[in-house]
Amino acid sequence: MTTLLKQPLKLALIQLASGADKATNLTHARTKVLEAAKAGASLIVLPECFNSPYGTQFFPKYAETLLPSPPTKEQSPSYHALSSLAAEAKSYLVGGSIPELEPETKKYYNTSLVFSPTGALIGTHRKTHLFDIDIPGKITFKESEVLFPGNKVTILDLPEYGKIGLAICYDVRFPELAMIAARKGAFLLVYPGAFNTTTGPMHWSLLGRARAVDNQVYVAMCSPARDMSASYHAYGHSFIASPNAEVLGELEEKEDIVYADLTNEAIDSARKGIPVYTQRRFDVYPDVSEGKVKPED
């Protein structure tokens, strides 16, 4: 039996309703994270740009400085709020993402911060694939007008549980990141995301379930709640997929929390039933996880 997940884990995804006021968003996130912790979640996930509106026009205004680490409270109120909150909740906390300003290069990134149950920063991921799309008459979006991409595959170790892969939203369209994390032993792939009402119905569930079935691991897709008064209409529909790509729980558009109990048995049983893990033909094609990848922090 492969042990990827050392003990059962309750996962919570918070489909947060955020507005324009960062301080209010942080206070509101605290309420919802504590609610999830009270319900027994030991890994809690917030959505992409959880404390600001999502849009290129907003990134510079809401950006925080994270380096050198740890930042001061003035440099990054979100870093300190998330760290205290993880400690208060006594849970691992994937702090969705925030716009980051790198002070030396003056470059902006879309960055996720992950904290341990003691409030220690255990990892960061800068969105690796920027959301640049153009579907005429529907949606044109160009993150690269403002943001720079991150340059690494992010795999984090939660010592009591095992490894998770972390990426952000549009990153889910690139199966290599998921494959590398899974082949390096992740039991779960986490994607804070903010799909929209055009691409959400087409691909949100399909992509999350595809990453699950490709890799026979759990997948978590965590969106903001939909706000029709905002300039960007998030799809919502946060969900958790099993290693067999079944949807274990899915939300609608409004603010809510979805939970699932993750077990190693579910991964093991998916892999025993359909043993693609032992049937791959690395004599025919290369194993991308053995290629040249930048290591985790």
Ligand X SMILES: NC(=O)CCC(=O)C(=O)O
* Positions in 160-179 near ligand X (CB under 6 A): 169-170, 173
Cβ–Cβ contacts within 10 Å for residue 243, how many? Answer: 27
- Beta carbon of residue 153, minimum distance to ligand X (angstroms, whole number): 17
Asked whether the bond before 77 is cis by omega within 30 degrees of 0, the reply is no
49 in Cβ contact with 97 (< 8 Å):
yes
Element of type H or E holding 26:
helix 22-38
- Which residue in 85, 94, 194, 240 binds ligand X (CB under 6 A)? 194
Closer of 188 and 222 to ligand X (Cβ): 222
* Positions in 10-49 near ligand X (CB under 6 A): 48
Longest dimension (CA), the chain: 55
Closer of 142 and 280 to ligand X (Cβ): 142
The answer to whether residue 111 forms part of the interface with ligand X (CB under 6 A) is no
- Which residue in 62, 195, 218, 239 binds ligand X (CB under 6 A)? 195
The answer to whether residue 58 forms part of the interface with ligand X (CB under 6 A) is no
CA atoms within 13 A on the CB side of 70: 16
DSSP string, 63-99: -B---SSSPPTTT-HHHHHHHHHHHHHTSEEE---EE
- Name the residues annotated as catalytic: 48, 127, 169
Segment interacting with ligand X (CB under 6 A) among 32-40, 190-198, 218-226, 264-272: 190-198
Closer of 169 and 188 to ligand X (Cβ): 169
Cβ–Cβ contacts within 10 Å for residue 113, how many? Answer: 26
Contact mark string toward ligand X, 235..274, x via CB under 6 A? ----------------------------------------
Residue whose CB is nearest to ligand X in the complex, by number: 199
Closer of 25 and 223 to ligand X (Cβ): 223
Cβ neighbourhood burial of 148 (10 Å; 0-12, 13-18, 19+): middle
Bridge partners (DSSP) listed for residue 113:
124
CA atoms within 13 A on the CB side of 228: 2
CA–CA gap between residue 236 and residue 216 (Å, rounded): 24
CA–CA gap between residue 193 and residue 50 (Å, rounded): 10
The answer to whether residue 131 forms part of the interface with ligand X (CB under 6 A) is yes
Bridge partners (DSSP) listed for residue 258:
13
The answer to whether residue 128 forms part of the interface with ligand X (CB under 6 A) is no
The answer to whether residue 199 forms part of the interface with ligand X (CB under 6 A) is yes
- Beta carbon of residue 194, minimum distance to ligand X (angstroms, whole number): 4
Closer of 196 and 215 to ligand X (Cβ): 196
- Beta carbon of residue 291, minimum distance to ligand X (angstroms, whole number): 24
Task: Note the residues at the interface with ligand X (CB under 6 A).
Answer: 48, 131, 169-170, 173, 194-196, 199, 203
